[in-house]
Amino acid sequence: MVLENSGDQPSIIIGRVSSLCGLRGGIKVISYTRPQDNLFTYHPWLLGNNGGWQEHRLQRYESRGRQRIAFLIGIDNRDSAATLVNLDIAIYRHQLPVLPAEESYWCDLLGMQVRNQDGLSLGTIVDILETGCNGVLVISGEERILLPLIKGDIITRIDQVARIMHVQWSPGYQ
């Protein structure tokens, strides 16, 4: 998820603080990264929402089965940790590895126009659903289209500069 619209986004949401853990300032976090523990490889974190963002540094973390617990420098009790619950976790855009030209981060696809092989506009990418095999683009236009995120067979070209994705897809195809 992107904090600001297309272009050179300064930061990207990579997780969320879900609840508290213990008395010493632990917070349970939900990771949007794959693998999930990649959330802990980025430093610093920005915690916040539309009301503002504050930089925090990770002191340590624990993975307990499906749960991810983070301990932040300066957050050492339950009361101070409680102020972080339900905040998004973001990183600065420059912290992401640079991808080869033919690859894109999913967050960069949001807001792109989608055109089919005939040049017909199918709409705009408004969401991406994660499935077991591949992602599914949610396209909002005259109709809502769920388009498999399969490069080559379905997605023929992505123009990052023009913010247009070209696809092999016919209107009304379900």
pTM for this entry: 0.75
pLDDT of residue 90: 95
pLDDT of residue 25: 95
pLDDT > 90 in the chain, percent: 64
pLDDT > 70 in the chain, percent: 93
pLDDT tens digits for range 24-80: 999 999 998 888 899 999 999 999 988 789 999 999 999 888 899 999 999 999 999
Sketch out the chain's domains with CATH numbers: 11-94 (2.40.30.60), 106-167 (2.30.30.240)
pLDDT of residue 4: 42
In this predicted structure, the answer to whether residue 1 has a pLDDT above a threshold of 60 is no
pLDDT tens digits for range 122-134: 999 999 998 878 8
Task: Using pLDDT thresholds of 50, 70 and 90, give the confidence band for residue 5.
Answer: very low
Contacts 24+ apart (CB under 8 A), 73-79: 75/25, 75/27, 76/24, 76/25, 77/23, 77/24, 77/25, 78/20, 78/22, 78/23, 78/24, 78/25
pLDDT of residue 173: 66
